[in-house]
Structure 1
Amino acid sequence: MKNITFFILDKYNNTEKYEHIEGPIFENKDVGSCHLAMKFEREDNETFRAQYPLEDILDEFTIQVEDTLDELNDACDNSKIEYLELSGSLDEIRNAYFQLNGKRAFNEKFRDDDGKYYFRLVIE
């Protein structure tokens, strides 16, 4: 995934349910989790809702997909663009925001000292 950016969903305007924390980060007052809407462009070799590198990003930052934002994905003219809403603790969401914004994330194959091949998440 590349050209990772974050934006504010319309539903965050509901101040009874969401509190603005900073930038595009909002707290859901009902459950106490923080939310962040993400937009990215898939690489040529990635399929829609590909498991990787998304799964590694979720693991790396200890966050989860809150919503797949089907309405935005269905309405998008560019089939390579994908939208997701992420959630987690404030520290986790803030960390993901600052480390991923404007970046590219992908899995890189490497050979370990034991001679076996593995994959690791790269963010650049």
Structure 2
Amino acid sequence: MKQIESYNANKYNSALYSKIEDGIYEAKLDGESLYVTSLSFIQEPEFNEGTNASNITQYPLEDVLDKFDCHISDFYEELNTIDSQKCYQEFASPDLEDIRNLRSLMEKHVYYKEIEGYIKLIIE
């Protein structure tokens, strides 16, 4: 995953969301807060990632979700088409700090590398 950037979805301009800070919104669901942010990124086939936005590979995305205790809450199907190289995802967590930490990935490179016989998630 490369060219990780913030994506400001139009849906955040509705009464369902309250802006917490740049790129982070709060949604109240059944009295509980859920914090969301949307990111775009480009996959890298040379690192065994998908070739287009309609085919987002499970890894390294699944390990990113685990590392930052988040889940995908919107896939933006209208943006993630076979013709699009850029992928769009909304990430969510009940913990604001998890979302803040996830946003630290912006402008970084995330990939797998074999080190001493083990596959490691690299963030640089």
| Residue 39 (1) aligns with residue 46 (2) | no
CA distance in 1, matches of 2:111, 2:71: 18
The alpha-carbon deviation at position 108 of structure 1 amounts to 1.2
Task: Report the secondary structure of 1:29's partner residue.
Answer: strand
Runs of 4+ displaced beyond 3 Å: none
Equivalent positions of 1:1-124 (< 5 A) are: 1-15=1-15, 17-30=16-29, 31-45=32-46, 46-47=49-50, 48-74=55-81, 77-78=83-84, 80-88=85-93, 89-97=95-103, 99-111=104-116, 117-124=117-124
The alpha-carbon deviation at position 67 of structure 1 amounts to 1.2
The alpha-carbon deviation at position 119 of structure 1 amounts to 1.3
Tell me the matched-pair count: 115
The alpha-carbon deviation at position 41 of structure 1 amounts to 0.7
CA distance in 1, matches of 2:10, 2:71: 20
The alpha-carbon deviation at position 81 of structure 1 amounts to 1.2
Residues 13-44 of structure 1 show CA distances to partners (whole Å, capped at 9, x for unaligned) of 012x1010011100112241101111001113
| TM-score using structure 1 length | 0.86
Unaligned runs of 5+ in 1: 112-116
CA distance in 2, matches of 1:7, 1:19: 16
CA distance in 1, matches of 2:42, 2:65: 17
Structure with the larger helix share: 1
Greater radius of gyration (CA): 1
